[in-house]
Chains A and B, each alone.
Chain A
Amino acid sequence: MRNTRSTQLIFELSRPGRRGGHMPSLDVPEAALEALLPAGSLAKAALPLPEVPEPEIVRHFTNLSTLNMSVDTHYYPLGSCTMKYNAKRNERLASLPGMLDVHPLQPDETIQGMLQMMYEMQQALAEISGLPATCLQPAAGAHGELTALMVAAAYFRDLGEKRTKVLTPDSSHGTNPASATMAGFKTVTIKSTAQGLVDLEDLKSKLDEEVAVLMITNPNTLGLFEPNIAEVADLVHQVGGLVYLDGANMNAILGVARPGDFGADMMHFNPHKTFSGPHGGGGPGAGPICVTDKLEPFLPSPAVVKQDGVYRLDYERPRSIGRVRSFFGNTGVLVRAYCYIRTHGGAGLRQVAENAVLNANYLLSQLADVLPVPQGNRCMHEFVGSASKWKAELGFTAMDLAKRLLDYGFHAPTVYFPLTVRESIMVEPTETESKETLDAFAAAVKAILAEDPELVHSAPHSTPISRPDEVRAARQPVTSCPVL
């Protein structure tokens, strides 16, 4: 049924003289352009944009959409990404004109409903994190990391301390060291133990008074809660450093444990993960951060405050780091996250974590005999298996399994991250999947292991394309369709 024409580029569908949208004729006097603008500022030629009528545009993009796997069409156990169900009510409510068509620079008195929701969102995230002060401005998780590190830098500058280092475990997300560089810090890597936890001895050897921040993901990227987290935080605090919690894995501990209670001074949330996104094909996200009281003065401006029952944006923040983007924040994402939080309530959020952890442990139990998990037989919301045994015995890799799973109608797990496990396969089921789906996924993995390795190695066989030549794409980059 797939329409093969759907893979033509929009430019290849263009014919001179065709068009989609029409604007109404001008209802004001029209002056010659040359009379209004300097001749040198005007374009010399028509833009080389495609000329396509509306029905063709709709068919083109609708057909393209069918070439994607998505949460609404497939099981998507992509580790570290928390691909849970994206509630339709959230989409509808975020699309109300009173949310969608609000200009970001309207006077406070015209946006009291919006400000109330954002104020309540600040409070909800403070409660969930155990950290009292929230900033909703950052646009993504990595942006939240960067913002928090800038806040830390401002805090130490204010104290008159010169601290240059950020510590991150070797299993951390790549964004952690990249954010540290952008905030002007040097990254120092902390080793993990064979159990996949922070190596305390290595941490101690690298702690000194030049350490500004330890960035830690907890539960970590192996899906393990760091049992020594309180001691880790104490060690960092003893040298005057701050602890940053990468909140990517908050889905595992919602309502169970709070970063502020286990020693974090600052953290970010990924509302597009934990509070159900949606992910939008790679964005938008949001990256609100929560911090302790002593760091609050340095948060970006503005914050939503409430005085005498009236909400307003407070720009009077003299010690603030300033701004990390234009306007208030990724409000559309935050509105959906607010709806998600209110739909679950406090007890419901804990059930999110419980079901996410239950599903992950169940799937682990169904796969453990074929997919060795070096870090043990229990996990939080995700687990990381190693395919290195298959590579030796069957001749196919983690990537081969990932590709073959596509033929079975499952999105692949994350592969080759974290870097600390060889041939890693990172599976995050999420709480919005059934036991039957998890059973079917486990059965698919087992069926693949019994297949002819060559069939697996050459997979996928039933997807719109077979494996692309990535080397060619990188060596001879073609990143746009040339104008003929």
Chain B
Amino acid sequence: MPYFYNTDDDRREMLEAIGAASVDELFQSIPADLRMDRPLEVGPVLTEVELTRHVGALAGQNAHAGNHVCFLGGGSYDHFVPAVVDMIASRSEFYTSYTPYQAEVSQGNLQVMFEYQSLITRLTGMDVSNASVYDGGSAAAEAVLMAISCSKRDGRVLAPESVHPEYRATVETYLENIGTRLETLPATAGRLDLEQLSAALADDVACVFIQHPNFFGALEEMEEIARLTHEAGALLVVSFDPISLGLLQRPGDYGADIAVAEGQSLGTPMQFGGPYLGIMTCKQEFVRRMPGRIAGETVDREGRRCFVLTLQTREQHIRREKATSNICTNQGLFALRATVYLSQMGPQGLREVSNGCLQKSRYAIERITSNPRFELAFAQPTFKEFVIRDTQNQVEQLLATSRETGILAGIPLGRWYPDLDDCLLVAVTEKRTREEIDAWVASLTGETSARKEQHTNCCHA
């Protein structure tokens, strides 16, 4: 095996020092009848050359954003990842280290965590960020649990249908065994109806959970939602799109109590759904109920500024069953990627990315809806995603045709929303070019696109 050191001579010397006759003897505490009497069957051993060929062949069977033009979103996006992000994250001093329990030899990781938290609080306008949780879905669930704890109300949690269906499903799973009910409010116009919210709010509601921009890409009326929620004594939990904050008001600006996000957009590849980055922030007053690791500033014995893991009395390794959560991971490597990404973009770059998404998605909307077959499903203003309806109700066929021209044209919504089974959710990031958008339109409408061939070969950034 390629990663072992021990030779037969080593083994002999080591066994002698141990005072054991054989390696088998070291396993004698395992009763004989519980030991395996055959090798595991996990496929034949592959050398590096063979493994490279095998995995290369499997990878070669997958369509991806490098050989297809990707208009898929719904929580995972084909944004541009600058080379500095990949290069820094491939430093093995970062990726082969572990949780910084020994602060003296982990200042790199700890300072990155502190810078990450600082960048996220600046991005969101929230008081406190933790060092991250798993992903957007579990961040939402942790936020809702935290809101139940902070509000001391455990009757209901309200969320409109315009919240990502997988985030709602995750919240529902987490609430199943603790007695709090997730009540889903309709979003028939593509966003939460404020009257429906008012009617549902009561003093048993722990929090209102909103996604903004929402799953359909539309903007929710955050200031009004915040006002209504707080008047009812409930907390406002928001799932935001980090890229949108290059243009939009921040969660802290409109009064969110807890704000979470899927941070994949900030320099993490799509990699079939994970690992991603769960961003989690809150108001200062709730920090001791926040789950997850937090880095804090302090000084060493010489008075030099340094960083440590702090407020650990919230956490499972100290508090056990009384901890704020069971989580004992932060997505360190992806928090690092987000830190480098936000540093590289800066205020101006992020605004350009954000504006690119907005303007290009508007161009796509104008182009596609100029064909009478397609219409916007909802009239609300959108950011980088939108829902189009195929009035001929042939979504699957359209997607298959587009794929033949090297385009992943959108996500069919019927699986989650039976009423929208004639609709596609479409995401347009800053990476998309006008030519690609024109080719996307052509692939859906059947109009000719002179330069179609180029798109299937477009080089991956």
A-B residue pairs in contact (CB < 8 Å), sample of 20? A20-B343, A26-B360, A28-B363, A68-B107, A72-B92, A73-B92, A83-B98, A106-B63, A117-B55, A143-B134, A173-B316, A174-B323, A281-B112, A321-B176, A324-B137, A329-B274, A332-B271, A333-B274, A414-B101, A480-B122
- The answer for the CA separation of A168 and B323 in the assembled complex, in Å, is 16
Interface contact B249-A105, CB-CB below 8 Å: no
Of A42, A91, A280, A480, the contact of B94 (CB 8 Å cutoff)? A280
The interface residues of chain A lying within 8 Å CB-to-CB of B323 are 174, 178, 181
- The answer for the CA separation of A227 and B11 in the assembled complex, in Å, is 25
Known contacts A43-B250, A47-B347, A331-B274; is-contact A65 B91 (Cβ 8 Å): yes
Of B18, B108, B132, B408, the contact of A65 (CB 8 Å cutoff)? B108
Of B201-209, B227-235, B430-438, B447-455, the segment with at least 4 beta carbons within 8 Å of chain A is B430-438
Interface contact A181-B322, CB-CB below 8 Å: yes
**Given A67-B111, A182-B178, A300-B173, 20 further pairs, Cβ under 8 A:** A21-B349, A26-B360, A41-B381, A62-B88, A67-B108, A74-B105, A103-B408, A105-B74, A107-B399, A107-B403, A177-B320, A255-B39, A257-B36, A280-B95, A464-B105, A465-B104, A473-B310, A477-B294, A479-B296, A483-B122
Which A residue sits closest to B47, measured CB to CB?
A343
The interface residues of chain B lying within 8 Å CB-to-CB of A321 are 173, 176
Interface contact B34-A37, CB-CB below 8 Å: no
Which B residue sits closest to A184, measured CB to CB?
B177
- The answer for the CA separation of A348 and B40 in the assembled complex, in Å, is 9
Contact with B along A1-39 (1 / 0, CB 8 A): 000000101110000001111110011111101001110
Of B192-200, B328-336, B368-376, B386-394, the segment with at least 4 beta carbons within 8 Å of chain A is B328-336
> Which residue of B117, B177, B349 has the most chain A CB atoms within 10 A of its CB atom?
B177
Does A150 touch B at the CB level, under 8 Å? yes
Q: How far is the CB of B233 from chain A (nearest CB, A)?
A: 24
Interface contact B247-A33, CB-CB below 8 Å: yes
Interface contact B356-A26, CB-CB below 8 Å: yes
Of A26, A93, A327, the contact of B135 (CB 8 Å cutoff)? A327
The interface residues of chain A lying within 8 Å CB-to-CB of B174 are 182, 324
Contact with B along A346-380 (1 / 0, CB 8 A): 11111110110111011011100000000000101
Does A112 touch B at the CB level, under 8 Å? yes
Interface contact A284-B333, CB-CB below 8 Å: yes
The interface residues of chain B lying within 8 Å CB-to-CB of A183 are 177
- The answer for the CA separation of A478 and B298 in the assembled complex, in Å, is 8
Contact with A along B267-294 (1 / 0, CB 8 A): 0011111111000000000010000011
Number of interface residues of B (CB under 8 A): 206
> Which residue of A28, A48, A146, A177 has the most chain B CB atoms within 10 A of its CB atom?
A28
The interface residues of chain A lying within 8 Å CB-to-CB of B274 are 104, 139, 284, 325, 327-333
Of A78, A113, A187, A358, the contact of B26 (CB 8 Å cutoff)? A358
Q: How far is the CB of A426 from chain B (nearest CB, A)?
A: 12
Does A466 touch B at the CB level, under 8 Å? yes
Of B35, B170, B276, B408, the contact of A106 (CB 8 Å cutoff)? B408
Interface contact B62-A99, CB-CB below 8 Å: yes
Interface contact B97-A281, CB-CB below 8 Å: yes
Interface contact B138-A52, CB-CB below 8 Å: no
Which A residue sits closest to B281, measured CB to CB?
A480
Contact with B along A90-123 (1 / 0, CB 8 A): 0111101111111111110011111011001000
Q: How far is the CB of A87 from chain B (nearest CB, A)?
A: 7
Q: How far is the CB of A3 from chain B (nearest CB, A)?
A: 12
Which A residue sits closest to B71, measured CB to CB?
A103
Of A10, A98, A463, the contact of B64 (CB 8 Å cutoff)? A98
Known contacts A33-B247, A69-B97; is-contact A331 B430 (Cβ 8 Å): no
Which B residue sits closest to A228, measured CB to CB?
B31
Of A43, A50, A328, A402, the contact of B102 (CB 8 Å cutoff)? A402
Which B residue sits closest to A99, measured CB to CB?
B59
Does B21 touch A at the CB level, under 8 Å? no
Of A100, A458, A474, A481, the contact of B271 (CB 8 Å cutoff)? A100
- The answer for the CA separation of A240 and B356 in the assembled complex, in Å, is 59
Q: Which 3 pairs from chain A and chain B are nearest by CB? A: A327-B273, A98-B59, A184-B177
Of A200-208, A384-392, A429-437, A448-456, the segment with at least 4 beta carbons within 8 Å of chain B is A429-437
Does A312 touch B at the CB level, under 8 Å? no
Of B14, B44, B96, B269, the contact of A358 (CB 8 Å cutoff)? B14
Q: How far is the CB of B365 from chain A (nearest CB, A)?
A: 10
Q: How far is the CB of B57 from chain A (nearest CB, A)?
A: 7
> Number of contact residues on A: which range applies?
35 or more
Known contacts A321-B176, A480-B121; is-contact A36 B358 (Cβ 8 Å): yes
Does A179 touch B at the CB level, under 8 Å? yes
Q: How far is the CB of A317 from chain B (nearest CB, A)?
A: 12
Q: How far is the CB of B357 from chain A (nearest CB, A)?
A: 10
Does B66 touch A at the CB level, under 8 Å? yes
Interface contact A41-B249, CB-CB below 8 Å: yes
Interface contact A327-B75, CB-CB below 8 Å: yes
- The answer for the CA separation of A221 and B426 in the assembled complex, in Å, is 49
- The answer for the CA separation of A177 and B75 in the assembled complex, in Å, is 32
- The answer for the CA separation of A463 and B103 in the assembled complex, in Å, is 10
- The answer for the CA separation of A396 and B271 in the assembled complex, in Å, is 48
Interface contact B93-A72, CB-CB below 8 Å: yes
The interface residues of chain A lying within 8 Å CB-to-CB of B64 are 97-98, 100-103
Does A406 touch B at the CB level, under 8 Å? yes
Contact with A along B76-103 (1 / 0, CB 8 A): 1010001010011011111111111111
Q: How far is the CB of A406 from chain B (nearest CB, A)?
A: 5
| B-facing residues in A146-188 (Cβ within 8 Å) | 146, 150, 153-154, 173-175, 177-185, 187
